Structure 1
Amino acid sequence: MTKGINDLQPARLEQALAARGLTKGQLATLVGVGAPTVTKWCKGDQAPEAETFDRLASVLNVQSEWLARPLLPPVSAPLYRSNASALKAARAKLEARTAWTQEVASLLSEYVDYPKVNLPKRTFQDPEQISDTDIEAAAEECRALWQLGRGPIQNLALAAESAGIIVVREETEISAIEGLSSWSEVLGRPIVLLSADKANAFRSRFDLAHEIGHLILHKHIPRADERDRYNQMEKQAHRFAGALLLPAEAFSCEVRVPPNLDNLLILKQRWGASVAAMMMRVHTLGLLSDEEKLALFKRRSARWGAKAEPGDDKWEPEVPRLLRRTVELLINEGILTPERIPRHLGFSPRDVENLCNLRENYFDAPAEVVDLATLRTIKPERQAVRRADVGSGAVVSFLKFKK
């Protein structure tokens, strides 16, 4: 390797390129070097000089020290809530953002205990093993474990986070991919990344329910590359989402038979599911024939268009809280100062705000907090944490912050 900052981790550089949606050529132009130089950095054949290293970190908007950290083990290959034609670069970007979420959650978990993972356990090895009855049973068990009852779910994002799922919702600028889910071996829990680009609460709830279906049903099944297998797994996650949001017995009792658009519009606001999703669910439950479903979809399209529905703006999208409240808890307890958190995590304040669902410019003036995560109890002889309001030589035991 050519002399320079030898601590640069090539895999970090590749990950940052993917997360920023940059090519090696674009990065070379921004940093002021030749494209072959960036290629050598990525291969580990050459290292940047100190000044160039700092400029590289600045262009990528990460801490210089972050580029020198070894990568964490990767999350499982994500399952996408997407169009199969999604671009390779778009997938790489979202996979990098998911890896960053894992890293943020992992570093914060040094100080807090997240809710325990509480999901139905399934061991399917192939989608062919999964029957419709299996899907309905998994959704019913999920509701039972989360103590959701049989009625509408008031806040699915909160329920998912309370069950130990790390949820991120951010604008991705990738319309073809509405969400993805992975399991993190590092965290011992799943991660769901949802697109906030469309700002539709009903679609976002369904996307989250869909990803929960993937996490439960397909945990032990490799990501499908063949179109038929991919479509089969998508249909299974779709059915799970419908069963979770619209449980068979309770929902079917409220549906007028034969269903009509006006009745479903009323139920939309009660159940938090789109008319289109309810139409599919009614068909799945045998309350609508194939011909009736097709006719109803045609009436829906003629009346409202292909995508938007009346009442879409009456629900605000559900926002994740777990990582946000973790950050707020650490700041309010004096464990970490606002300006130290982005440096500790290695990311820009803007990235931390996006991944943790913090308001813009949060680190300039943090807000109060209601606990969701709890501070980790650590023996004094093993670890202590400096408080921001004490002198540099004073150390306060973590036990004093136990909730």
Structure 2
Amino acid sequence: MFSDPADTGQRIQRLRLVNSWSQAQLSETAAVATGLVSMIEHGRHGLDSDSLQRVADSLGCAPEYLVRPSRQPITTRPWLRAYADASKKAVDRYVADTEVAVEAIESLRLKRLPELLPTFDDDLNDDHAIEEFARDVRSAAGLQSDDVVGNCIRRAERLGVVVLPMDDELGRHLGLSMRVDGIPVIRASRPRLDQSGLVSPSGDRQRFTVAHELGHLALHATTPPPSTAPQARLVEQQAHRFAGAFLAPAEPLLSDLDRLGGRVTLSTLTRLKEIWGVAIKMLVVRLRQLGLIDDQHARSLYKQISARKWNTSEPVAVSHEQAVWLEQALSRADLGAHSAADALGLDVRYVRTWLNWDLDTSINEDLPEGVLPIRRPASKHASTHQLIRR
């Protein structure tokens, strides 16, 4: 089979980045000269069959995968200034892995849901316009005006977004979003137990991350990655505003606040968290955005939150979410992880990475107690404090 050195080089580079390897590491593992790896990845040098086999074995793929004709995917970069505290190596890993995943979806001819995600065409500096747009996106996702977003990941999938897990965080950030060949993709951190035994990210933070990245995809479809810190802060604020309006729309949120007595206290915010499945600190920001509290009131609430040590562990455990589309699409194609990997010429670990949303308990096998399903109380007299155990 004729192979184009440029195609082979691109595939080798992508899988090397997915594995977080330097060219020197691939060179050592595959017994190929370091300088030669660079030339191969840039399409300036081919590989004999023995070298190709060693490289394929090192990267966890069949030689046929590396020589298969391909084209460089058209990929939008994440808003990189927003990931300034994450290493370029970590960001490149997930960009490359997303490209490999999307190519796999297309190669397997999996039937995707049609994209229903609207595109923002108003003034990004107009908060009211972003609030209105979030209502439009909620409607496109099948939500009524006062519906709670019961599962944010499933709603994103319903909009035609492919949602894949991340094994770790990008600095302080829990997700990223991008388009590959026009397909919108969100990567979101799956839960794990940290060194202190707490689940990170919490369920409410995971939900906000998905809504935030959905905001980037919809609001910033034609906006290039920010090149300065002020620009980065601005696009983050815009995505934050969208996420707040998507998860906790103004009118029903304020109606619930009024039903609970109208006073913005930690007790009231805890009750609102039980209903809407968003963090208490996020609710402080949201109510400040809506003009219900001023800066002084917000600072007082933040001090109370800090004094109660809620910055790291808030009351009310919100359940984590996971994507279902990819697993269901594989099942409809009569494929499991192993058979899909065989068809692609990839090691099964690649496919499993795209499917695995399970809690990583490698640090501590003791699971946290109690999760709360996100729901509205049956009536104003219904109890919203009871935790439902797993």
Q: CA deviation at 1:147?
A: 2.5
Cα deviation per residue 1:89-140 (whole Å; 9 max; x = unaligned)?
Answer: 11111111221221122223x252x22111223235xxx6431011101111
**Separation in 2, partners of 1:238, 1:337:** 37
Residues 8 and 247 of structure 1: is their aligned pair in 2 closer, same or farther, counting only changes over 3 Å?
closer
* 1:76–1:184 Cα contact (<8 Å) kept: yes
Cα deviation per residue 1:297-350 (whole Å; 9 max; x = unaligned)?
Answer: 111011125332123xx333110011110111212xxxx576431122232211
Q: Match for 2:143 among 133, 148, 151?
A: 148
Let me know the Cα RMSD of the aligned residues: 2.4
Match of 2:286 in 1: 281
Residues 106 and 172 of structure 1: is their aligned pair in 2 closer, same or farther, counting only changes over 3 Å?
farther
**Separation in 1, partners of 2:129, 2:242:** 9
AA aligned to 1:170 is M
Match of 1:269 in 2: 274
Q: CA deviation at 1:254?
A: 1.9
* 1:118–1:145 Cα contact (<8 Å) kept: yes
Q: Match for 1:326 among 312, 325, 329?
A: 329
Match of 2:369 in 1: none
Query: Superposed, which structure 2 residues align to 1:203-218 within 5 Å?
Result: 203-218=205-220
Q: Percent identity?
A: 27
AA aligned to 1:184 is V
* 1:116–1:164 Cα contact (<8 Å) kept: yes
* 1:21–1:89 Cα contact (<8 Å) kept: yes
Query: Superposed, which structure 2 residues align to 1:72-91 within 5 Å?
Result: 72-79=72-79, 82-91=82-91
Query: Superposed, which structure 2 residues align to 1:4-403 within 5 Å?
Result: 9-69=8-68, 70-79=70-79, 82-108=82-108, 110-112=109-111, 114-123=112-121, 129-149=124-144, 150-172=146-168, 174-185=170-181, 188-197=182-191, 198-255=200-257, 256-311=261-316, 314-331=317-334, 336=335, 339-357=338-356
Q: CA deviation at 1:358?
A: 7.8
**Separation in 1, partners of 2:252, 2:336:** 48
Q: Which secondary structure does the structure 1 equivalent of 2:114 belong to? A: coil
Residues 265 and 179 of structure 1: is their aligned pair in 2 closer, same or farther, counting only changes over 3 Å?
same
AA aligned to 1:147 is G
AA aligned to 1:286 is G
TM-score by length of 2: 0.81
Q: Which secondary structure does the structure 2 equivalent of 1:191 belong to? A: strand
Q: Which secondary structure does the structure 2 equivalent of 1:183 belong to? A: strand
TM-score by length of 1: 0.79
| Structure 1 residue ranges without an equivalent (≥5) | 361-403
Match of 1:394 in 2: none
Residues 204 and 92 of structure 1: is their aligned pair in 2 closer, same or farther, counting only changes over 3 Å?
same
Q: Which secondary structure does the structure 1 equivalent of 2:333 belong to? A: helix
**Separation in 2, partners of 1:217, 1:279:** 23
* 1:104–1:345 Cα contact (<8 Å) kept: yes
* 2:81–2:229 Cα contact (<8 Å) kept: no
Residues 139 and 337 of structure 1: is their aligned pair in 2 closer, same or farther, counting only changes over 3 Å?
closer
**Separation in 1, partners of 2:45, 2:294:** 64
**Separation in 1, partners of 2:180, 2:231:** 23
Cα deviation per residue 1:337-372 (whole Å; 9 max; x = unaligned)?
Answer: 764311222322111122134889xxxxxxxxxxxx
Which consecutive aligned stretches of 4+ in structure 1 deviate over 6 angstroms post-superposition?
none
* 1:167–1:320 Cα contact (<8 Å) kept: yes
Residues 81 and 241 of structure 1: is their aligned pair in 2 closer, same or farther, counting only changes over 3 Å?
farther
Cα deviation per residue 1:58-96 (whole Å; 9 max; x = unaligned)?
Answer: 111123222223234222222369543222111111111
* 1:19–1:93 Cα contact (<8 Å) kept: yes
**Separation in 1, partners of 2:312, 2:80:** 20
**Separation in 2, partners of 1:240, 1:80:** 19
Cα deviation per residue 1:146-194 (whole Å; 9 max; x = unaligned)?
Answer: 2312131111111111121111123136443311111233xx4311111
| Structure 2 residue ranges without an equivalent (≥5) | 192-199, 360-390
Residues 154 and 129 of structure 1: is their aligned pair in 2 closer, same or farther, counting only changes over 3 Å?
closer
Q: CA deviation at 1:46?
A: 2.7
* 1:12–1:71 Cα contact (<8 Å) kept: no
